[in-house]
């Protein structure tokens, strides 16, 4: 009993955990104190946080810099919109569809480059081509994607008697999904699997000598990252009720990369928080000075790459160590 | 059987020349990229911003001086100076880290593009051609400015090709690309070679941006689409291969000029992208790329 309370005390004395508990409480009570508008902004911020995590799995943990997170985000968004708008079946079918389509596309795109070990520079260019291809395809494949009009409009259905179409219910739904996925992925990456990825990124040759099939591990991480992006996209489409080509745009991919690098690649928490903070900043700065956000973001970003390549979270962890 | 030709010969000549002039612009963008990539190994994402900057500066200087050529030269000088500044202050620290180098140039690209849209707005501008009107070529009236672009493209290809193969500087660039350490021991100032190559590439981007002004519109994002296409061109042509970027740019120009007869324009673009992806996978050195050597 005493041992357990000591364990508990140690648990809570860690200031880091207090921050998390404070964050969780703030997230839960937000609708009670914030305006409806802010709740809406924060819903999207949380989803972007998940998207940043998905890129961090690829870039930070596996060392694969993808220029196409938005492509998978768009796949998720279009899956849900397609299911509801064009096929008229249940909204909930969109999520498994998003997962399956994203996984299949991720394997199709990732298998060749990873298996052939084309190197990080070529991987960047490969995903650049894929990202632009996916974005262009949304305009061309009009019967599938609705072209530049996109697929819409719809609103999320009721679940257990709660209408998810409202801002606050959808917010809690998002908190639930992002929370569950975030904690699940965090646990996964803290496990042995995460160590394998870290070790592979640092010294792939040695890991191969140790008997690990590093290609397979990288491919699994790549698919995991793609599926997470797609789930973020599937969640996001519920907030706007429309799947549009801009969700696949290169600009979104660029922003995701910035969030991830500013937050700190390979830190998991950093990109998540950075995405939330920067999205909120974007929203309020965007009203005052529309171009200002990207200018500030760009300068901030160059500064980070140059002065603090490990990102905010990386720097904090280094100091704590 | 109905043998009515799909195109008259006049149309074929017009399309071919359109393809050639667009291909030349693409070549000017791609050659700078491929030089920088081949020598430094840097995925230079500022390149698109430099194209747009070249276009806008030409526009601004035309407003002041009234002369297109003077403005173009001034724009190239200013953009080159900007490239020099970037290379000396930020980028040369990041040559050992390809991912960080890419990320830094990506950030700079974003800042420049947004500053342009902040200063000039998002609506497109256009330049008046220095030689307006068209001239008769093979029995077809064709815009003079496009012919000029073709001529300048060939001239640039010739001059830079000669610099790379016939001069001391070209030799030093080759040596640095192959073995920087050995080149250094043999008395090559590799730092200077890196800087010169970066500035040369940037100047080519600015030239493309200014030249293209009279035939397309100038927008803050104009460089990005050229740059993305140019990346695919240098993949297919072979990263670091100057000759490759020339040949493939012309091929891509012709494919886009004639491809729409069979496929919708967007599909033509998609095909080029898919080809580039296949090249990365199965022939990462492209048609002409020898490892790290360009000529």
Q: Is the pLDDT of residue B262 over 60?
A: yes
Q: Is the pLDDT of residue A294 over 70?
A: yes
Q: When comparing pLDDT for A116 and B71, which is higher?
A: B71
Write the pLDDT tens digit of every residue in A82-111: 888 888 788 888 899 999 999 999 999 888
Q: Is the pLDDT of residue B42 over 90?
A: no
Q: Is the pLDDT of residue B147 over 60?
A: yes
Q: How far is A299 from chain B (nearest CA, A)?
A: 6
Q: Is the pLDDT of residue A3 over 70?
A: no
Q: How far is B147 from chain A (nearest CA, A)?
A: 31
pLDDT of the residue at B292: 44
pLDDT of the residue at B242: 84
Q: Which residue has the tokens 């706007």?
A: A240
Residues 253-312 of A with CB under 8 A from B: 254, 257-258, 261, 291-292, 294-295, 297-299, 301-302, 305-306, 309
Q: How far is B22 from chain A (nearest CA, A)?
A: 20
Question: Measured between CB atoms, does A144 come within 8 Å of chain B?
Answer: no
Name the nearest CA neighbour of A135 among A72, A214, A207. A72
Q: Is the pLDDT of residue A35 over 70?
A: yes
Write the pLDDT tens digit of every residue in B160-197: 989 888 888 888 888 888 888 888 888 888 888 889 99
Q: Is the pLDDT of residue A127 over 80?
A: yes
How many A-B residue pairs are in contact by the CB < 8 A criterion? 104
Q: What residue spans of chain B are helical by DSSP H?
A: 9-40, 46-65, 68-89, 98-120, 144-166, 168-178, 180-185, 190-212, 222-237, 242-259, 265-282
Write the pLDDT tens digit of every residue in B77-103: 999 999 999 888 888 888 877 778 888
pLDDT of the residue at B77: 95
Q: Share the mean pLDDT of chain B.
A: 84
CB B114 within 8 A of CB A298: yes
Q: Is the pLDDT of residue A15 over 70?
A: no
Nearest to B281 among A116, A132, A297 (CB): A116
Nearest to A118 among B109, B111, B281 (CB): B281
Nearest to A65 among B99, B109, B115 (CB): B99
The ipTM value here is: 0.79
- Burial (CB count <10 Å: 0-12, 13-18, 19+), residue A195: exposed
From CA A171, how far away is CA A31, in angstroms rounded?
Answer: 8
Work out the pLDDT band at B119, boundaries 50, 70, 90. Answer: confident
Residues 6+ apart with CB under 8 A from A124: A65, A67, B43, B99, B102
Work out the pLDDT band at A37, boundaries 50, 70, 90. Answer: confident
Write the pLDDT tens digit of every residue in A24-33: 888 888 887 8
Write phi, then psi, for B163 (nearest 5 degrees): -60, -45
pLDDT of the residue at A320: 63
User: Stretch A23-51: mean pLDDT, rounded?
Assistant: 87
From CA B57, how far away is CA B218, in angstroms rounded?
Answer: 11
pLDDT of the residue at A199: 87
Indicate the DSSP class of residue A60.
I
Of A102-106, A123-127, B87-91, B134-138, the range with the highest mean pLDDT is A102-106
Bridge partners, residue B293, by sequence: B290
Residues on chain A touching B114 (C-beta within 8 angstroms)? 291, 294-295, 298
Q: List the single range of A193-207, A287-301, B242-256 with lowest mean pLDDT.
A: A287-301
Mutate to test the interface with B, among A259, A282, A291 (most CBs of B within 10 A): A291
Work out the pLDDT band at B291, boundaries 50, 70, 90. Answer: very low
pLDDT of the residue at B3: 47
Write the pLDDT tens digit of every residue in A233-263: 999 988 888 888 888 888 888 889 888 888 8
Q: Which residue has the tokens 């020898």?
A: B290
pLDDT of the residue at A150: 76
Sign of the Cα torsion A169, A170, A175, A180 reads positive
Between β-strands B134-137 and B140-143, what pairing exists: parallel, antiparallel or unpaired? antiparallel
Predicted model pTM? 0.85
Bridge partners, residue A73, by sequence: none
From CA A51, how far away is CA A64, in angstroms rounded?
Answer: 15
pLDDT of the residue at B2: 47
pLDDT of the residue at B290: 56
pLDDT of the residue at A98: 92
* Residue A208, both tokens: 């191969």
Q: Which residue has the tokens 């080029």?
A: B272
Work out the pLDDT band at B293, boundaries 50, 70, 90. Answer: very low
Q: Per the CB < 8 Å rule, is A295 touching B118?
A: yes
Work out the pLDDT band at B263, boundaries 50, 70, 90. Answer: confident
Q: Is the pLDDT of residue A151 over 70?
A: yes
Number of Cα atoms under 13 Å in the Cβ half of residue B218: 28
Mutate to test the interface with A, among B277, B278, B291 (most CBs of A within 10 A): B277
From CA A301, how far away is CA A285, in angstroms rounded?
Answer: 17
**Strand ranges inside A122-275, DSSP E:** 151-152, 158-159, 162-163, 242-243
Q: How far is A112 from chain B (nearest CA, A)?
A: 7
Instruction: Pick left, alpha or beta for residue B99 (phi over 0 → left; psi -120 to 50 → alpha; otherwise beta).
Output: alpha
Residues on chain B touching A309 (C-beta within 8 angstroms)? 97, 100
Nearest to A121 among B98, B117, B228 (CB): B98
Q: Per the CB < 8 Å rule, is A125 touching B231?
A: yes
From CA B244, how far away is CA B161, in angstroms rounded?
Answer: 11
Work out the pLDDT band at B214, boundaries 50, 70, 90. Answer: confident
Number of Cα atoms under 13 Å in the Cβ half of residue A102: 34
Question: Measured between CB atoms, does B100 come within 8 Å of chain A?
Answer: yes
Q: Is the pLDDT of residue A292 over 50?
A: yes
Q: Is the pLDDT of residue A132 over 80?
A: yes
Residues on chain A touching B283 (C-beta within 8 angstroms)? none
Q: Share the mean pLDDT of chain A.
A: 84
* Residue B236, both tokens: 């297919």
């Amino acid at each position: 009993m005493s041992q357990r309370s000591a364990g508990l005390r140690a648990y809570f004395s860690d200031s880091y955990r207090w921050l998390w508990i404070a964050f969780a409480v703030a997230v839960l009570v937000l609708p009670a104190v914030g305006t409806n508008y802010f709740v809406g902004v924060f819903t999207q911020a949380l989803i972007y946080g998940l998207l940043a995590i998905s890129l961090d799995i690829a870039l930070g943990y596996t060392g694969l810099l993808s220029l196409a997170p938005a492509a998978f985000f768009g796949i998720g968004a279009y899956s849900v919109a397609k299911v509801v708008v064009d096929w008229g079946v249940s909204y909930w079918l969109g999520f498994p569809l998003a997962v399956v389509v994203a996984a299949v596309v991720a394997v199709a795109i990732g298998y060749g480059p990873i298996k052939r070990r084309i190197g990080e520079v070529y991987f960047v260019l490969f995903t650049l081509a894929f990202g632009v291809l996916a974005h262009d395809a949304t305009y061309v494949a009009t019967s599938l994607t609705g072209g530049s009009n996109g697929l819409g409009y719809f609103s999320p259905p009721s679940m257990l008697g709660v209408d998810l179409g409202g801002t606050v219910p959808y917010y809690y739904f998002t908190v639930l999904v992002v929370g569950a996925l975030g904690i699940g992925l965090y646990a996964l990456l803290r496990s042995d699997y995460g160590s394998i990825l870290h070790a592979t990124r640092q010294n792939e040759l040695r890991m191969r000598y140790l008997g690990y099939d590093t290609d397979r591990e990288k491919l699994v991480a790549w698919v995991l990252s793609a599926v997470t992006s797609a789930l973020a996209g599937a969640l996001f489409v519920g907030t706007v009720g429309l799947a549009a080509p801009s969700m696949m745009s290169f600009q979104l991919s660029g922003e995701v990369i910035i969030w991830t690098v500013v937050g700190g690649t390979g830190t998991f928490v950093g990109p998540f928080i950075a995405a939330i903070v920067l999205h909120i900043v974007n929203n309020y700065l965007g009203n005052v000075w529309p171009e200002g956000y990207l200018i500030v973001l760009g300068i901030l970003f160059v500064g980070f790459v140059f002065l603090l390549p490990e990102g905010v979270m990386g720097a904090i962890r280094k100091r704590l160590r | 059987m109905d043998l009515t030709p799909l195109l008259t010969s006049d149309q074929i000549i017009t399309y071919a020349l359109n393809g050639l002039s667009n291909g030349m612009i693409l070549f000017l963008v791609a050659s700078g990229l491929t030089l920088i990539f081949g020598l430094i190994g840097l995925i230079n994402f500022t390149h698109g911003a430099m194209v747009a900057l070249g276009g806008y500066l030409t526009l601004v200087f035309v407003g002041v001086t009234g002369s297109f050529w003077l403005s173009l030269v001034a724009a190239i000088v200013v953009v080159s100076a900007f490239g020099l500044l970037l290379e000396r202050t930020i980028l040369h620290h990041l040559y050992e880290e390809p991912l960080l180098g890419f990320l830094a140039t990506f950030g700079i690209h974003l800042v420049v593009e947004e500053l342009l849209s902040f200063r000039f707005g998002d609506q497109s501008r256009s330049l008046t051609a220095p030689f307006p009107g068209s001239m008769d070529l093979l029995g077809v009236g064709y815009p003079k400015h496009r012919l000029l672009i073709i001529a300048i493209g060939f001239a640039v290809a010739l001059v830079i090709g000669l610099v790379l193969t016939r001069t001391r500087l070209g030799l030093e660039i080759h040596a640095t690309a192959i073995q920087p350490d050995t080149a250094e021991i043999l008395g090559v100032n590799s730092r200077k070679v890196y800087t010169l190559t970066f500035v040369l590439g940037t100047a080519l981007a600015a030239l493309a941006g200014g030249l293209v002004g009279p035939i397309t519109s100038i927008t803050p994002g104009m460089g990005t689409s050229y740059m993305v296409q140019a990346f695919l061109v240098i993949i297919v042509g072979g990263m670091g291969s100057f000759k490759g970027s020339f040949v493939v740019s012309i091929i891509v120009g012709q494919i886009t000029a004639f491809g729409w007869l069979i496929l919708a324009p967007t599909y033509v673009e998609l095909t080029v992208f898919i080809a580039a992806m296949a090249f990365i996978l199965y022939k990462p050195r492209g048609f002409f790329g020898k490892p790290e050597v360009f000529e």
